[in-house]
Amino acid sequence: MKIKLENLGPIRQAELSLSDFTILSGLNNTGKTYITYAIYGFLKLWRKVINIDTSNEDIQQLLTSGSIQIDLLSYVSKAQKYVDSGCKVYSKLLPIEVFGSSEKVFGKTDFRAILEDKEIDISNSYHGVIRAVNVSLFSLDKQENDNYLTVTLLVPKESQKLTKENIQNVISNAIKNILFASVFPTVFIASAERTGSAIFRKELNFARNRLLEEMAKSGSNVDPRKLLFSSYQDYALPVQDNVEFVRNIEGIAKSDSFLAQEFPDILDYYSEIIGGKYIISRNDELLFEPISGKIKLTMDESSSAVRSLLDVSFYLKHLAKKGDLLMVDEPELNLHPENQRKVARLLAALVNFGIKVFITTHSDYILKELNTLIMLGQGSERIQKIAETEGYNDFEILNVGKICAYSTKKSLLKVGDNKRKTKCLTLVKSEITQELGIEAESFDESIDEMNRIQEEIIWGG
């Protein structure tokens, strides 16, 4: 999937493709987090903003004959039009619902998602049953490799509890899932503000309980969702979601991810990076137990690195599914260079295990370690021996075809209808080769400058 952006904060115009591993780098205040949040918001809200109409004739036939077959290929041919319309709706939601800001800042932002050739895959099966008060009303079925969705009434139409509009919405949602669920992955984000969510977890629960008390006092006319989330409305959507994730960690910890079941060693490796493990006490208190095991620390007693790694740890252990997109804003946050390198290896392993990864980074250590993993994929006997000697695993090695890297910088672009190019902030795609890895000019320039000054100090004169 390709993303096109216009007038997003400092970014005048930009374009990027989401790959198995997508990397954004660049100077501070150049729009990396804005880009990350905009993509995250769309992947969270696409079901809300994309609308698929179903014909009144189909609904009437369903109510008359009790069953209909919907040709999905007719919807496949219009998939991009549905997405375009949804992106227009989403662009209007960006200021308040995604960034928690005003229309003055993001009112002119334009977000577009462009589907790649053959990206729509409707070969998978689909099954659903709509119920009301423990009564099955109708079923939706699609067989594997079949192009038709069969909708069947399960009770007489006189007994239906849903209106025509309700039925249309249910069928529309089913078609949306069949068309786009494989295109728009389930997304999880660890924002750069994640350390605050961890340390103020008790206060967040206290605030929620106060809100629930207010709901009880307000009577039946209050909108509970509006009241419950009113305290978060000034924050960006990723920050809101991080807050809710940390607040609900006890419930999240009750399930196991596919990584916990199939690749437990990667979770042990993550515990090694953290320097211990997170535990939920009998009193539902979130604690950190260092490797020594002699003490247990609360989040405010733990290091900033422990707090910054919390969200990703619980996601990997309890929620992660193949095909997910994991977005991490500055994975190097509060980490020593040695652990930054380990995080890079962990992210590479996740990509090879089937989780898509998207990061923003200022870390030369992370980028250089990723370059090592790319260069180790050349496959020669000499390179394989280096990998074995240095302790690299096969599941950490990266194929160059799985990675896209971009940096924010000023470049000459044709903006709008202007015939002349204008120098403005955009995304520039980095060259990546299996032999040399990712070219990162912004990091290299800073390092070269430091080396030049130090050489002048030592050898000058």
The 10s digit of each residue's pLDDT in 246-281 is: 888 888 999 999 999 999 999 999 999 999 999 988
What separation in angstroms does the CA of 327 have from each of 22, 52, 428?
A: 9, 28, 20
Q: Is residue 70 part of a domain?
A: no
Residue 177, pLDDT > 90, answer yes
Q: pLDDT value at position 460? A: 81
Domain span at 298: 194-320
Q: Is residue 213 part of a domain?
A: yes
Helix (H, G, I), strand (E, B) or coil at 138: strand
Residue 24, pLDDT > 90, answer yes
Q: pLDDT value at position 420? A: 83
Q: Phi-psi bin for 414: left (phi > 0), alpha (psi -120 to 50), beta? A: beta
Task: Provide, rounded to the nearest whole percent, the portion of the chain with pLDDT above 90.
Answer: 62
pLDDT confidence band for 233 (50 / 70 / 90): low
In this structure, what token pair is assigned to residue 308? 């910054």
Indicate yes or no: pTM above 0.95. Answer: no
Domain count, the chain: 1
Q: Is residue 204 part of a domain?
A: yes
pLDDT in tens, 423-455: 999 999 999 999 999 987 767 778 888 888 988
Q: Is residue 231 part of a domain?
A: yes
Of 137-151, 159-173, 212-226, the least confident? 212-226
Q: Is residue 237 part of a domain?
A: yes
Q: pLDDT value at position 159? A: 54
Tokens 């515990």 — which residue? 271
Residue 388, pLDDT > 60, answer yes
Q: Is residue 362 part of a domain?
A: no
pLDDT in tens, 403-426: 999 999 998 887 777 778 889 999
Residues 314/278, Cβ–Cβ less than 8 Å: yes
Q: Is residue 21 part of a domain?
A: no
Residues 47/178, Cβ–Cβ less than 8 Å: no
Q: Is residue 372 part of a domain?
A: no
